[in-house]
């Protein structure tokens, strides 16, 4: 499939997030040779571009490879991208990123071809190449962390959508009473507000507050728990944490039922800091999904945790470069 690229060639990959930015040197057979990670600078696009360039420069120094061995730079970014040009139209979780020519800046600096993808698309490419989606042709990857996003491989091709935003499932409408933030840049979809880490934390905080108010506290949850604490205590049998975790499993299952009925995938992969740690909830998630999904599709689909974890986006950014190099992606 990748015969046009010699095995001694490597790709520079960058996975930009609202919290952290990672960069790595990736071989054409999917090995990460070097990596660096830093908190994402949120001082505007100029500072962000300088940070990305500095991370890549540090990889050049660490790898000690010849410049001729690098075939391109792949970038995954949580942003709306213009078709063909890869102009960053808007990055809602990246302060000030509007109409930013990141691709042009990197190509000018490194004299290498640059490929940008919406981060949900990078993640599903990574899972398809080296993760839980390997060998499948109909894949959905759902990332549940501080936000909710996703990507799809259908009939062996990445589905981008007309605005390159296919897979933005956090915007699923579940609650007609839900009122998003008045700030356009900070608006959340109904499903994201319910199942992402901040939503789990808010639900836990309210229940802890209620218990304290009525003097009925029977939980080890702290006053301001995060999703990690909720899941950890749920696994240990804490009754309040288990109640919250089961609620989350039901909501995740409802969303996956909608996806299953619409797309009829072979496999749905759960990634992100919440999704990848939800193994213990998968039986309840599957139960809910099968209850509400189109029956034949519901029986056929597999629900599994990510095999790549935080590396999915990095590997997917690299794979996007390989696919473009081989003219297998538009």
At the top level of CATH, the class of 135-306 is alpha beta
Domain 10-125+311-325 falls under CATH 3.30.420.40? yes
Domain boundaries, the chain: 10-125+311-325, 135-306
* pLDDT reported for residue 133: 97
* pLDDT reported for residue 4: 45
* Cα distance between residue 151 and residue 139, in whole Å: 8
* Cα distance between residue 282 and residue 289, in whole Å: 10
Please give the C-alpha separations between residue 329 and each of 22, 57, 125, 156, 319, in angstroms, as whole numbers: 24, 27, 11, 11, 10
Residues 6+ apart with CB under 8 A from 188: 147, 170, 180, 181, 196
Q: Which residue has the tokens 């897979």?
A: 167
**Residues 246 and 284: beta-carbon distance below 8 Å:** yes
* Cα distance between residue 44 and residue 46, in whole Å: 6
* pLDDT reported for residue 5: 46
* pLDDT reported for residue 93: 82
In the chain, the largest separation of any two C-alpha atoms, in whole Å, equals 68
Dump pLDDT digits (tens) for 104-153: 999 999 999 999 999 999 999 999 999 999 999 999 999 998 889 899 99
What's the first-to-final CA gap in the chain, in angstroms?
16
Q: Annotate 170-224 with DSSP letters as a single string.
A: GG----TT----S-GGG---HHHHHHSHHHHHHHHHHHHHHHHHTT-------SS
Residue 263: Cβ within 10 Å count: 17
* pLDDT reported for residue 328: 55
Q: Fold match between 10-125+311-325 and 135-306?
A: yes
Q: Which DSSP category does 326 fall into?
A: T
- Extract the residue ranges of the chain whose pLDDT is less than 70: 1-7, 181-188, 215-217, 327-330
CA nearest neighbour of 148 among 179, 130, 123, 131: 123
* pLDDT reported for residue 219: 87
* pLDDT reported for residue 146: 82
What's this model's pTM, rounded to 2 decimal places? 0.90
* pLDDT reported for residue 187: 61
* pLDDT reported for residue 314: 97
């Amino acid at each position: 499939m990748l015969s046009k690229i010699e095995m001694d060639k490597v790709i520079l990959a960058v996975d930009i997030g609202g919290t952290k930015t990672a960069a790595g040197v990736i071989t054409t057979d999917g090995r990460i040779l070097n990596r660096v990670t830093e908190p994402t600078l949120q001082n505007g696009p100029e500072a962000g571009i300088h940070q990305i360039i500095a991370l890549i420069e540090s990889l050049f120094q660490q790898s000690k490879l010849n410049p001729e061995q690098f075939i391109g730079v792949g970038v995954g970014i949580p942003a709306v991208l213009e078709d063909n040009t890869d102009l960053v139209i808007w990055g809602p979780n990246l302060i000030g990123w509007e109409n930013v020519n990141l691709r042009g800046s990197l190509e000018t600096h490194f004299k290498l071809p640059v490929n940008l993808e919406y981060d949900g698309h990078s993640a599903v490419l990574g899972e398809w190449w080296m993760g839980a989606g390997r060998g499948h042709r109909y894949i959905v990857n759902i990332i549940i962390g501080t936000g909710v996003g996703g990507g799809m491989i259908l009939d062996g091709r990445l589905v981008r959508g007309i605005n390159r935003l296919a897979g933005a499932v956090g915007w699923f409408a579940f609650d007609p009473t839900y009122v998003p933030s008045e700030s356009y840049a900070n608006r959340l979809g109904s499903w994201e507000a319910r199942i992402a880490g901040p939503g789990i934390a808010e639900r836990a905080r309210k229940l802890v507050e209620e218990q304290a108010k009525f003097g009925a506290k029977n939980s080890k949850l702290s006053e301001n728990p995060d999703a990690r604490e909720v899941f950890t205590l749920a696994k240990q049998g804490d009754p309040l944490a288990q109640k919250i975790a089961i609620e989350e499993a039901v909501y995740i299952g409802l969303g996956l039922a909608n996806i299953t009925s619409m797309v009829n995938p072979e496999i749905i992969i759960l990634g992100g800091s919440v999704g990848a740690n939800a193994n213990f909830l998968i039986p309840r998630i599957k139960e809910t999904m099968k209850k509400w999904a189109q029956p034949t599709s519901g029986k056929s689909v597999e629900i599994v945790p990510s095999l790549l974890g935080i590396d999915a986006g990095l590997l997917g950014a690299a794979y996007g470069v390989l696919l473009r190099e081989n003219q297998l992606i538009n």
